[in-house]
Amino acid sequence: MEKKSKFNLFFKGFKEKTENFSLLFDFLMDFKYKNAWDRDIFPLLESVKTGKSFGVDWSDFIWGTICFRNGYVMFLKESIHQVGRKFPPIKDINGNALVDETGQWLENTEYIELNYSEFLKIPLDEFISICRKWYNEVL
């Protein structure tokens, strides 16, 4: 089967999700080669799953932001820098900025869920399964 047909079949199963489910596909389509998955993505996902995460647990893309929190993957429609510039400096009880251009606000998933409408939150295990399916069926 040609690659385009595999691609269309893969996405067909997800059309009935939410409009923000497209953020997942933006992420998947950023990594079009198996060597990137083998070298970077799968080791990161395994480290997040086992709690031995290396480096940062969020990343900024042109299409938005991905972050890993408490067994979930969250995709936001805007980049950290866009969100940080859009909102006024909101502070926590200690006076620390929750929303800024550094991504500090991502530490508080409750803030995201209560104040941000364009996000997708899925369980980490489901996300890893989707990534493996993408890797095996489309790439």
Parse the chain into domains and list their residue ranges.
1-48+124-139
Is the separation of the CB atoms in 48 and 40 below 8 Å?
no
Q: Which of 99, 74, 70, 71 is nearest to 85 (CA)?
A: 99
How much is the pLDDT for 109? 64
Count of CB atoms within 10 A of residue 125's CB?
13
pLDDT at 15 over 60: no
80-98 tens-digit pLDDT: 667 666 666 666 678 776 6
Q: Say which residue, 95 or 14, is predicted with more confidence.
A: 95
pLDDT digits (tens, 9 = 90+) for 39-51: 999 998 998 888 8
Mean pLDDT of the chain: 78
Q: Using one digit for the tens of pLDDT, what is the confidence trace for 20-29?
A: 778 888 888 8
pLDDT confidence of residue 18: 62
Residue 118: pLDDT band (50, 70, 90) is: confident
Q: How many CA atoms lie within 13 A of 5 on its CB side?
A: 2
pLDDT at 52: 81
Burial of 106 per CB tally in 10 Å (0-12, 13-18, 19+): buried
Record the tokens describing residue 44, joined without a space.
């990161």
Give the per-residue pLDDT at 37: 94
Side-chain half-sphere exposure of 28, counting CA atoms within 13 A: 21
